[in-house]
């Protein structure tokens, strides 16, 4: 660990905090329907879309209608993407002649991209046509991100309204997010990325003759436009197999820094949107503070573990930390920070191979996801995820003092707590249930590339990543099989919609309640005590649920590695 390393981490955090308020202010105007500086251009487009779609802009929906609209939209989006994948061979924009995607991989990929997971059982440059990358994948990158934000905004309206029957309109939230937030940011961002060296071309792969006379085929494509939304929308699905480690997806130290910032930017700003919409920005800062505590703790462990290196390789006389699977231009600190950011935020892009991280360095990304992707989290998903935990925290606090719990003037009662627990319990069921299944059936055991505890970690990481809608991987796992494509696809769908629907139910139930004025007995939720309690609840719930599984994977691997033990695959 170096002073420069810590400075890079501190600089990153400072930029995120500095961006939260201005971006949050802009987004709040978007979701409260106020005019923004882009309205003169975009408002006519928006009105035109509503007219064709038969939506009356002002017409709001109950939580159930909101949820039904969302689900209908996703069923259609899923089918469209599935069809595109199956027929890409005969469609245009396919200069490298990619063939049709197999049914199980098409199912997995469709589930992956509509749920904002962007798990990839395939290598992009060897599988997907340019049309699929743009019309299928880039498109879903936008929509799944907009959906996450829409759900979060609906939940915030639940807190900010009183005695209301509606939580907003899904169509309006989806459209406004895409038009006013994501597209303008991505347009500027794409040009920056191209300036750094990310290709943006419809030409096919380039043949080069190397200095030694060999032929090198350079895969290119419309990369930058996809990378922009992949990061801003915390999607994470790479254009290329190596994702943000590929020099064409992340060419420079600056592109790397900006990519990390763009992963967190909208998620952090959402806490400010929350604060503004409930009329007390401190409430948003308290939530961002709880996220920050968990983030910094995790980042410090990854940085320390990767700097310390692997005892097995150090035993051979290697010094300088763990560089296996890392790029020289990023080095250890920018790789460790990226790993913490991408898994805290449900992004899943990687600039280094997590599979080759040290045992503890690879455990933190898993924990970040297992806690429910609430450390900043996916765009929108992080906010509704942590608000679910807030409800449980407030409930626990209420039990301690024997008072009906309140949050922001809303009484938290049985229905909210039940829905919150449903959302919280869905993730471990998917993560641990499918992991258990994969470790007892032959088709599951055929997956890992590494032997011993690391092989188990590869399986656990995969289902953790899928259910948390992250999409990063311990890439050694051979996941493009009908067993993994099916189980991972199901994990992603359940992990997404069995959190979204309860979150919307909470929104509806809260919006209908009256607001109770704060009294002397009200627990203040903008101070250090609340932040501490929230962090405690998150860690206790996550720790109790996942410690046994982690003990079988990364923890035992750490201990074995410390003794110099190695595991041979196929032995």
State yes or no: residue 237 binds another protein (CB under 8 A): no
Residues 382 to 411 in contact with another protein, rule: CB under 8 A? none
Total chain residues near another protein (CB under 8 A): 132
Interstrand relation of 215-218 and 206-209 (parallel, antiparallel or unpaired): antiparallel
Which one of residues 41, 218, 399, 518 is an interface residue with another protein (CB under 8 A)? 218
Site string for another protein, 508-547 (x = CB under 8 A): ----------------------------------------
State yes or no: residue 464 binds another protein (CB under 8 A): no
DSSP 90: G
Contact partners, residue 227, CB within 8 Å, separation at least 6? 190, 193, 198, 239, 244, 249, 250, 259
CA–CA dist 370, 464 (Å, integer): 6
State yes or no: residue 3 binds another protein (CB under 8 A): no
Q: By CB under 8 A, which span of 22-30, 157-165, 395-403, 452-460 interacts with another protein?
A: 452-460
Q: Is 250 exposed, middle or buried (0-12, 13-18, 19+ CB in 10 A)?
A: buried
Q: Which is nearer to another protein, 100 or 451 (CB)?
A: 451
Contact partners, residue 377, CB within 8 Å, separation at least 6? 234, 267, 291, 344, 345, 346, 383, 385, 386
Residues 19 to 78 in contact with another protein, rule: CB under 8 A? 49, 52-55, 62, 64-65, 68-69, 72-73, 76-77
Which tokens sit at 292?
Answer: 């920050």
Query: Is 462 in contact with 489 (CB distance < 8 Å)?
Result: no
State yes or no: residue 86 binds another protein (CB under 8 A): no
Neighbours of 31 (CB within 10 A): 24
Phi, psi of 513 (to 5 degrees): -80, 155
State yes or no: residue 456 binds another protein (CB under 8 A): no
CA–CA dist 221, 239 (Å, integer): 8
Q: Which is nearer to another protein, 82 or 474 (CB)?
A: 474
CA–CA dist 386, 296 (Å, integer): 17
* Backbone φ/ψ region at 394: left (φ over 0), alpha (ψ -120 to 50), beta: alpha
Which one of residues 13, 17, 38, 80 is an interface residue with another protein (CB under 8 A)? 80
Site string for another protein, 96-135 (x = CB under 8 A): ---------------------------x-xx-------xx
Q: By CB under 8 A, which span of 1-9, 103-111, 399-407, 436-444 interacts with another protein?
A: 1-9
Which tokens sit at 450?
Answer: 């590494």
Q: Which is nearer to another protein, 321 or 405 (CB)?
A: 321
Which one of residues 43, 183, 443, 539 is an interface residue with another protein (CB under 8 A)? 183
Which one of residues 57, 251, 409, 433 is an interface residue with another protein (CB under 8 A)? 251
Tracing tokens 């309109």 back to the chain, one arrives at 169
Residues 304 to 323 in contact with another protein, rule: CB under 8 A? 310, 312-313, 316-323
Which one of residues 97, 163, 209, 440 is an interface residue with another protein (CB under 8 A)? 209
To another protein, the closest distance from the beta carbon of 555 in angstroms equals: 12
Q: Which is nearer to another protein, 333 or 420 (CB)?
A: 333
Query: Is 340 in contact with 295 (CB distance < 8 Å)?
Result: yes
Q: Which of 152, 135, 164, 1 is nearest to 70 (CA)?
A: 152
Residues 356 to 375 in contact with another protein, rule: CB under 8 A? 356-359, 362
Q: Which is nearer to another protein, 152 or 244 (CB)?
A: 244
State yes or no: residue 196 binds another protein (CB under 8 A): yes
Q: Which is nearer to another protein, 178 or 481 (CB)?
A: 178
To another protein, the closest distance from the beta carbon of 7 in angstroms equals: 6
Q: Which of 405, 429, 400 is nearest to 417 (CA)?
A: 405
Which one of residues 90, 211, 401, 440 is an interface residue with another protein (CB under 8 A)? 211
State yes or no: residue 225 binds another protein (CB under 8 A): yes
Q: Which is nearer to another protein, 11 or 529 (CB)?
A: 11
CA–CA dist 97, 405 (Å, integer): 60
Which one of residues 113, 122, 257, 546 is an interface residue with another protein (CB under 8 A)? 257
Which one of residues 181, 186, 266, 375 is an interface residue with another protein (CB under 8 A)? 186
CA–CA dist 263, 261 (Å, integer): 5
Task: Using the CB atoms, write b or e for 308-321: b if 16+ within 10 Å.
Answer: bbbbbbbeeeeeeb
State yes or no: residue 471 binds another protein (CB under 8 A): no
CA–CA dist 40, 37 (Å, integer): 7
* Backbone φ/ψ region at 535: left (φ over 0), alpha (ψ -120 to 50), beta: alpha
């Amino acid at each position: 660990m170096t002073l420069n390393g810590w400075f890079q981490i501190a600089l990153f955090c400072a930029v995120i905090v500095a961006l939260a308020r201005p971006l949050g202010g802009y987004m709040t105007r978007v979701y409260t329907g106020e005019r923004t500086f882009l309205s003169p251009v975009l408002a006519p487009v928006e009105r035109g879309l509503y007219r064709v779609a038969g939506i009356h802009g002002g017409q709001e929906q109950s939580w159930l209608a909101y949820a039904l609209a969302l689900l209908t939209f996703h069923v259609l989006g899923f089918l469209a993407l599935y069809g595109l994948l199956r027929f890409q061979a005969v469609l245009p924009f396919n200069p490298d002649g990619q063939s049709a995607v197999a049914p199980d991989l098409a199912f997995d990929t469709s589930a992956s991209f509509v749920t904002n997971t962007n798990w990839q059982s395939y290598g992009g440059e060897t599988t997907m046509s340019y049309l699929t990358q743009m019309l299928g994948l880039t498109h879903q990158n936008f929509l799944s991100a907009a959906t996450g934000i829409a759900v979060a905004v609906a939940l915030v309206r639940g807190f900010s309204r009183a005695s209301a029957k509606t939580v907003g309109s899904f169509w309006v939230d989806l459209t406004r997010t895409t038009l006013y937030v994501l597209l303008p940011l991505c347009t500027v961002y794409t040009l920056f990325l191209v300036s750094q060296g990310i290709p943006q071309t419809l030409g096919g792969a380039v043949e080069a003759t190397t200095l030694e006379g060999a032929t090198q085929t350079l895969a290119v494509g419309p990369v930058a436009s996809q990378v922009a939304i992949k990061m801003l929308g915390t999607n994470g699905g790479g254009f290329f197999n190596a994702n943000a480690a590929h020099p064409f997806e992340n060419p420079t130290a600056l592109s790397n820094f900006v990519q990390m910032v763009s992963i967190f930017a909208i998620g952090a700003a959402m806490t400010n949107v929350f604060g503004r919409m409930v009329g007390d920005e401190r409430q948003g800062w308290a939530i961002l503070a709880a996220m920050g505590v968990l983030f910094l703790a995790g980042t410090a462990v990854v940085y320390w573990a990767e700097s310390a290196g692997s005892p097995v390789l150090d035993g051979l006389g290697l010094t300088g930390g763990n560089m296996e699977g890392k790029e020289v231009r990023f080095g250890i600190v920018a790789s460790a920070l990226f790993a913490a950011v991408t898994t805290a935020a449900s992004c899943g892009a990687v600039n280094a191979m997590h599979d080759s991280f040290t045992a503890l360095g690879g455990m933190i990304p898993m924990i970040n996801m297992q806690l429910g992707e609430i450390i900043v989290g996916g765009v929108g998903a992080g906010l509704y995820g942590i608000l679910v935990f807030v409800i449980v925290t407030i409930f626990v606090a209420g039990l301690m003092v024997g008072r009906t719990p309140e949050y922001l003037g809303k009484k938290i009662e049985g229905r909210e707590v039940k829905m919150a627990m449903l959302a919280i319990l869905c993730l471990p069921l998917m993560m641990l249930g499918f992991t258990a299944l994969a470790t007892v059936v032959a088709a599951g055991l055929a997956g890992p590339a590494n032997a011993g505890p690391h092989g188990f970690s590869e399986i656990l990481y995969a289902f953790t990543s899928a259910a948390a809608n992250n999409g990063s991987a311990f890439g050694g796992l051979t996941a493009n099989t009908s067993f993994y494509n099916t189980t991972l696809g199901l994990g992603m769908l359940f992990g997404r919609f069995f959190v979204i629907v309860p979150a919307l139910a909470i929104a509806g139930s809260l919006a209908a309640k009256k607001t109770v004025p704060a009294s002397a007995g009200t627990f203040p939720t903008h101070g250090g005590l609340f932040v501490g309690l929230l962090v405690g609840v998150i860690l206790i719930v996550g720790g109790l649920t996942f410690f046994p599984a982690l003990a079988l994977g990364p923890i035992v691997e750490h201990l074995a590695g410390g003794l110099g033990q190695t595991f041979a695959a196929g032995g």
